[in-house]
Amino acid sequence: MEQFDQIILWLAVGTEAAAALIIGLATLEAIGYAILVYFSHLKKIHPLSADGRDPREVIRLKFGRWLALSLEFALAADILRTTVAPTWNEIGQLAAIIVLRTALNFFLQREIEQAEAKAAERRATGPDPSLVAASPEARNGA
């Protein structure tokens, strides 16, 4: 039984390592995109901003999503740890992670909804008139 407990603790450590790896890779990705946006003026041609959103906002939300995923892994690690003879200390850690994760998810979700509402508003105001005038349909109509 004790060997099995030890295996579960190692699995929890591995899951936490996965969370740390995801944070590291997401940070590198965000830095890479930020450098690209900063030096190349990619606001219009960068694939991240294909829907016309501010690429900085897209990078921030993408990074936030990765952070939320890494918190899920951290939570899974804590669930694993507390399945085996939990201590008051581990229970306290689990409670702290639940509160942190829920708060982070709440604010992240709100930001994503605000960004989507802005994009929808932009779409509702219609496409750029200069692009409409240059389109084949507009020319055929005229």
Partner 1 sequence: MEHSLLPAYLLGSTLFSYAAALTVTGFVLQALAGLARGWSVDRTRGVLVRGMLAGLSLTVAATLLRLLAARSWQDVAMIAVLLTLRTGLKQALRREQRSVGAESLP
Query: Which residues make up the interface to partner 1 (CB under 8 A)?
Result: 1, 4, 8, 11, 15, 18, 22, 65-66, 68-69, 72-73, 75-76, 79-80, 82-84, 86, 88, 91, 94-95, 98, 102, 105, 109
Rounded Cα–Cα distance for residues 100 and 29 (Å): 24
* C-alpha distance from residue 41 to each of 9, 27, 34, 58 (Å): 48, 21, 11, 15
Q: Which of 112, 81, 113, 111 is nearest to 94 (CA)?
A: 81
Task: State which residue, 12 or 37, has the beta carbon closest to partner 1.
Answer: 12
Minimum separation from the CB atom of position 122 to partner 1 (A): 22
Task: State which residue, 98 or 138, has the beta carbon closest to partner 1.
Answer: 98
Task: State which residue, 35 or 112, has the beta carbon closest to partner 1.
Answer: 112
Taking a C-beta distance cutoff of 8 angstroms, is the pair 42, 49 a contact?
Answer: yes
